[in-house]
Amino acid sequence: MKIEEGYVTNLTKFYILALLSEKPRHGYDIMREIGNAIGKKPSAGQIYPLLQNMREKKLVKVSIQDRKKIYVLTTEGKSFAKSMINHFSELVKIAIRQKLKKCAHCGCEIYSGIFRKGGKSFCCKNCAKSYKNSSSKRS
């Protein structure tokens, strides 16, 4: 069965795939992790139908550990999760890039710790200093 990328239409599904690609997990473990990530614990009624759907699509299988059900990605589920994660991380990169500032001196992209001086943004103190030096030299 070929699963389209459109299969991941909501973030919760994506989270489940990402979480299970780390390691097999109990249902309540999945709910807790998603709760931590989004700040609100999802209900069993939200998570279990998704897990059930993923089982039907053969992305996930159930195995028993310590007499409890754990959810494990199938081989197909693993490769699907991997392609989804790559796909999403590209989107995230684009979203971040649109917000990124470039250092006025060296031109590198500033991911964190913007250093501002004279209305310009720099990646570090040294760039701010060098920029000042080179511009004052010009004038």
From the CB of 123, what's the least distance to Zn ion, in Å? 4
Hey, what are 129's tokens? 């200093």
Report the DSSP beta bridge partners of residue 61. 72
Q: Which of 103, 115, 128, 131 binds Zn ion (CB under 5 A)?
A: 103
Hey, what are 50's tokens? 């998704």
Whether the CB-CB separation of 69 and 56 falls below 8 Å is answered with: no
Q: Which of 106, 109, 111, 133 binds Zn ion (CB under 5 A)?
A: 106
From the CB of 104, what's the least distance to Zn ion, in Å? 8
Hey, what are 6's tokens? 């459109």
Nearer to Zn ion by Cβ, of 54 and 103: the residue is: 103
The Cα–Cα gap between 68 and 8 comes to: 27
| DSSP strand pairing (115-117 vs 120-122) | antiparallel
Nearer to Zn ion by Cβ, of 11 and 114: the residue is: 114
From the CB of 115, what's the least distance to Zn ion, in Å? 8
Should residue 123 be labelled a site residue for Zn ion when binding is judged by CB under 5 A? yes
